[in-house]
Amino acid sequence: MTEEQRQRLAAILDAAIQRVNPYEMLVERLRLEDDELVVRSDEGERRFQLTDYDRILVLGAGKAGALMALAAETVLGERVADGVVAVKPGHGVKLARVRTVDAGHPVPDDGSLAAGKAVTELAESADEKTLCLVLISGGGSALLTAPLEASINGQQVALTLADLRETTSALLESGATIQEINCIRKHLSALKGGRLAEKLYPATTATLILSDVVGDDLDAIASGLTVPDSTSYHDALALVARYQLEARLPRRVLEVLEAGAAGTIADTPGADNQIFERVSNLLVGTNCTALAAAAEAARAFGYDTVVLSSQLTGEARELAKTFAGIARDLNRYELLARRPCCIIGGGETTVTIRGGGLGGRNQELALSYVNELDRNPRHAEGVAFLSASTDGNDGPTDATGAFASLGVLAAAREQQLAPADYLAANDAYHFFERLGALHKIGTTGTNVCDIQVLIVERSIS
């Protein structure tokens, strides 16, 4: 990989991230027309006559929450009466009328609990003369925590933060998809799975959603705080069995899921519930939006550019094999595009934890790509690859992702680093750190899943 290739990969990613800057995007999507608030979403416009309301509240959770709140304050100014948004530490900005609460991610912490309490109290203060703007972005499931309390056979059972932390850790290590993880989390929460909408009712609610979920399933993004839930306690319990989590989950968690499946605990509200009659769930930004900007940047460099999909999923190490195969085909046969070319993909992979190393799904994907080159380096000349998270933090690390190429492999061999060994240990971070191939950009303030960029400069000689 040449320095120019590395810079171009970074520039293509940066163009994607800039396009989904939460502040810029929301300022474009919100506007005041006299006393009317107009919200432009991917599905069209929604209008709210502000004279119908005594006050406007802003609530939310997610890595982009602070910048989204800043946009709401910019457009609405002093019309905002109060607000609270749960954010990841380091993602806050100075706000005039909306409070931010630093909370834990990807595993909830005491801050998540405090955020859940603050949002609950503000939501329960809303009435039919209140307009609530709910700002949702990736990470909201962990950042906003309110453990469920329920009566089971006459006994009051209250889940604890420790219960949810243990459950979240087990789910994150299981290889389950985000939709599956959030199905279980929704049924252990007093806010998720549409239960925040219950607390807001009878207020009018406009939820503005920045999607970090493949396919943009609204009931999965931040665990569907104001969205009718399409899943049930039966579904959650089936997932526990599928991923063999019975021995890893706290006893109280299993009791709640089993009681819910038996009908002892009311399920999360579905689409026929009246609470959703005054709720508008509006999608304002997606992975597709970012991919379009990445493609524009790649074409500006002169690459014949193809966007594969915004819905790439599965094990990170397996998707890497697909990108390695695409690169070989491009070099040998110019399938998909003519060289020089750029292939872009997006989505969110999973990692089943087997070792005790450090990394994230994008670093693991890049490491698996290097491992594929180690197994078969043919037809990989002139190819450079980057897999990265749009939020700037890949897993529990300070890197957004990593670069992969024959040059990275050569450096690894020179240092006697075996990609397969690091892959087996899920230790991508330390592999790339030693090679100077991590990509670090800091916190971006946004989150729309991940992006992969593959460039091919020339064919083999």
Q: What is d(CA 384, CA 340) in angstroms, rounded to the nearest whole number?
A: 12
- Asked if 365 and 320 count as a contact pair (C-beta separation under 8 A), the reply is yes
pLDDT in tens, 420-448: 999 999 999 999 999 999 999 998 989 89
Joined tokens for residue 87: 């954010």
Residues 6+ apart with CB under 8 A from 354: 424, 425, 426
CATH class given for the domain over 21-285: alpha beta
Confidence band of 154 (pLDDT split at 50, 70, 90): confident
Q: Which residues pair with 219 in a beta bridge?
A: none
**Is the pLDDT assigned to residue 290 strictly greater than 70?**
yes
Confidence band of 298 (pLDDT split at 50, 70, 90): very high
Boundaries of every domain in the chain: 3-12+288-456, 21-285
Phi/psi region, residue 99 (left: phi>0; alpha: psi -120 to 50; beta: rest), is beta
Query: Phi and psi of 351, rounded to 5°?
Result: -130, 125
Confidence band of 146 (pLDDT split at 50, 70, 90): very high
Q: What percent of the chain has pLDDT over 70?
A: 99
* pLDDT at residue 185, as a whole number: 97
pTM of the model: 0.86
**Is the pLDDT assigned to residue 459 strictly greater than 80?**
no
Average pLDDT, integer, range 387-411 = 96
**Is the pLDDT assigned to residue 362 strictly greater than 50?**
yes
Q: Of 137, 93, 437, 149, which Cα lies nearest the Cα of 265?
A: 149
Confidence band of 92 (pLDDT split at 50, 70, 90): confident
Q: What is d(CA 11, CA 302) in angstroms, rounded to the nearest whole number?
A: 13
Average pLDDT, integer, range 288-301 = 97
**Is the pLDDT assigned to residue 461 strictly greater than 70?**
no
* pLDDT at residue 460, as a whole number: 45
Confidence band of 184 (pLDDT split at 50, 70, 90): very high
Joined tokens for residue 64: 């982009």
Average pLDDT across the chain, whole number: 95
Q: What is d(CA 303, CA 43) in angstroms, rounded to the nearest whole number?
A: 32
Which CATH number is 3-12+288-456 given? 3.40.1480.10
Q: What is d(CA 363, CA 430) in angstroms, rounded to the nearest whole number?
A: 10
* pLDDT at residue 43, as a whole number: 83
Average pLDDT, integer, range 117-125 = 98
Joined tokens for residue 180: 């599956």
Q: Is 57 exposed, middle or buried (0-12, 13-18, 19+ CB in 10 A)?
A: buried
pLDDT in tens, 198-237: 999 999 999 999 998 888 999 999 999 999 999 999 999 9
